[in-house]
Amino acid sequence: MSPLACKNLLLFILSQFILALCLFAYLQPSRNQGPEPRAGNPSALTTQPGNSPTALQAGSELIILLWTWPFGHPVALQKCSELFGIRDCHITANRSWYHKANAVIVHHRDVCSSPEKLPQGLRSPSQHWIWFNLESPSHSPNLGFMDNLFNLTMSYRRDSDIFTPYGWLEVLSQPQNFSIPAKSKLVAWVISNWNPASRRVQYYEELKKYLHVDIYGSHHMPLPRDKHFSTLSQYKFYLAFENSLHEDYITEKLWNNALGSGAVPVVCGPSRENYERFLPPDAFIHINDFPNAQGLAQYLQELDKDPARYQRYFQWRTWLKPSERSFWAIHFCKACRALQMTETYQTRTSLAKWFH
Segments of the chain assigned E as strands: 63-66, 90-92, 103-107, 128-133, 152-155, 162-163, 169-171, 185-190, 214-216, 235-241, 264-268, 285-286, 320-322
Query: Distance (Å, rounded) from C-alpha 284 to C-alpha 259?
Result: 9
Query: Distance (Å, rounded) from C-alpha 354 to C-alpha 356?
Result: 6
The three-state DSSP-derived secondary structure of 261-298 is HCCEEEEECCCHHHHCCCCCHHHCEEHHHCCCHHHHHH
Q: Which residues, in sequence order, are bridge partners of residue 65? A: 92, 104
CA distances from 334 to 8, 155, 339 (A): 51, 11, 9
Burial state string for 121-153 with b = 16 or more CB within 10 A and e = fewer than 16: eeeeeebbbbbbbbbbbeebeebeebeebbbbb
Q: Is 53 helix (H, G, I), strand (E, B) or coil?
A: helix
Distance between the two ends of the chain, CA-based, in angstroms?
A: 83
Active-site annotation holder among 36, 61, 135, 170: 135
Query: Do 207 and 155 contact (CB within 8 A), yes or no?
Result: no
Annotated catalytic residue 135: yes
Q: Which residues, in sequence order, are bridge partners of residue 66? A: 105
Q: Is 2 helix (H, G, I), strand (E, B) or coil?
A: coil
Q: 228: buried, middle or exposed (CB in 10 Å: 19+, 13-18, 0-12)?
A: middle
Catalytic annotation, residues: 135
